[in-house]
Amino acid sequence: MSILNEEHEPLLDVQSKHNWRWFILLTFSLYSFSNSLMWITFAPCLYLFTQYYFQSQSTYTLNAINSLSSVYMLIYPIAISFTFKYFEDKKDQEQSTYYPSNGLRKGIMIGIVLNTAAGGIRYLGAIPSLYGFILLFTGQTIAAIAQVFMLSIPPRLAVAWFPENEINLATAIAVSANNLGIAAGCALTPLMIRESTMYEDIPQLLLLQFIMCLVVFILVWIAFRQFPPYLKSVTNEVSSINQSVFLWKQRKFLYMVTSYGIVMGAQCAIITLLAQILIPPFRDSLDEKHIGLLGAAMLFIGFPASIIVGCYLDHTLRYKNTLRTLFVLTAISILMLYASIEYSYLIGVVVSCLLFGLFSYAISPAFFQYASELFYPISEIIPTGYLFTVGNTGGVLLVALMGWSENNDRPFTMSIPMLGLSIAMLFGCYFIFLINGTLKRSCQMNTST
Query: What does the H/E/C string look like for 287-300?
Result: CHHHHHHHHHHHHH
Tell me how far CA of residue 434 lies from CA of 212, 286, 303, 329, 374, in angstroms: 44, 40, 27, 17, 13
Identify the pLDDT of residue 93. Answer: 52
Identify the pLDDT of residue 392. Answer: 81
- 413: amino acid identity, one letter: T
Tell me how far CA of residue 82 lies from CA of 115, 144, 148, 204, in angstroms: 18, 14, 10, 35
Q: What's the rounded Cα separation, in Å, for the pair 319 and 403?
A: 34
Identify the pLDDT of residue 237. Answer: 52
SS3 136: helix
Q: Is the dihedral angle over the CA atoms 127, 130, 131, 137 positive or is it negative?
A: positive
Q: What's the rounded Cα separation, in Å, for the pair 421 and 398?
A: 8
Identify the pLDDT of residue 200. Answer: 93
- pLDDT tens string, the chain, 449 residues long: the values are 344 433 333 344 444 456 888 999 999 999 999 999 998 888 777 788 889 999 888 878 877 887 888 788 788 888 887 887 777 766 555 544 445 457 788 889 999 999 999 999 999 999 999 999 999 999 999 999 999 999 888 888 888 888 888 888 888 899 889 888 988 887 888 888 888 899 999 999 999 999 999 999 999 999 988 877 765 544 445 567 777 888 888 899 999 999 999 998 888 888 877 877 888 888 888 776 777 788 888 888 988 999 999 899 888 988 899 999 999 999 999 999 999 998 889 999 999 999 999 999 889 888 888 888 888 878 788 888 888 888 888 887 887 788 787 777 788 888 888 999 999 999 999 999 999 888 887 787 666 55
Helices (H), 249-380: 251-272, 274-278, 288-316, 319-342, 346-374
pTM of this prediction?
0.80
Specify burial of residue 271 (Cβ count, 10 A radius: 0-12, 13-18, 19+). buried
Q: What's the rounded Cα separation, in Å, for the pair 210 and 119?
A: 4
Closest of 314, 111, 112, 106 to residue 227, by C-alpha:
106
Specify burial of residue 16 (Cβ count, 10 A radius: 0-12, 13-18, 19+). exposed
